[in-house]
Amino acid sequence: MDKIGYLFSGQGDQFPGMGQELCQISPAAKEVFDLCDSLRPGTSQQCFSGTEQELRQTQNTQPCLFAVELAAFRALEEAGAPQPDGVAGFSLGEVAAATASGLVPLETGFRLVCRRGQLMQEAAGKVPTAMVAVLRLNPDQVKTLCSRFSQVYPVNFNCPGQIAVSGLASQMPEFQAAVKEAGGRTVPLAVQGGFHSPFMAETARTFARDLEKLSFQTPRMALYANATAREYTPQTAADLLSRQIAAPVLWEDTVRAMVTRGMNTFVELGPGRTLTNMVKKIAPAARALTAAEYLQEVAG
């Protein structure tokens, strides 16, 4: 029997209109949007008709993507999809995965992602930073190139041949030139700051203080952490949720850990196909499909 892993998207997959069709066909999805609107008025409006520029602002991106992802999760439950055997989320998607697992209630998860987005946007505004994806180079090559610069860091180990890098905006052109000289290629990422790097250290500490006030439940399924590629427990939750803001995302290791646990079907809960495409590179033998594709399959 297939074991199923749900993967929750991170920033970069957002687009105007995301989630609207889902809301129209699923009462359970609409309930998620209604709750999010009650806590943060205008969330569904931003998802359905916000501009690209509006959705790119971190304080908007994170709650909007969270709403879409939890709406997809609830729509799959409503359609009779089996409970996944494990969940993981990329960056902000980890808050969505934690919520879907039952670590925190939906309302708490949404409040957390709103706070996280606000803090990260504030941090990004203090120092001009940027992120790029480095393609065609291996981790050691990327680490070596980053070491030549005082404030450029390898941060997201996505899949074979793809590593994201955060750095000072002023150092990025020279870094990109170095990547090209080494035989690689860079692609700018649609985010507003140097996330998962030392630039976010103070933000992580502030978020940790917010998390200290919460109690966490035992997840209903295996929940994997970006910072360690290992499973959460209620005792480690506050540390892992805060640490991941400034720590690298070990995504390739996370997917491999889920495969080792027997998961051979992965469903991306989010508006795009970024994680689906990564899975195909990390675990070619596994099935990888979007929530829309899986919902159609489940509904028959």
Is residue 288 within 8 Å of residue 280, measured between CB atoms?
A: yes
Is residue 169 within 8 Å of residue 149, measured between CB atoms?
A: no
Residue 257 CB neighbour total at 10 angstroms:
21
Could you list the active site residues? 91, 196
Indicate the residue type of 31.
Answer: E
Nearest alpha-carbon partner for 91 in 57, 65, 129, 125: 65
Intra-chain end-to-end CA distance of the chain, in Å: 19
For 47, 191, 218, 279, the CA distances from 265, given in Å and listed in that order, are 28, 29, 24, 10
| Secondary structure of residue 169 in the 3-state scheme | coil
Which two three-digit tokens encode residue 126? Answer: 């203090």
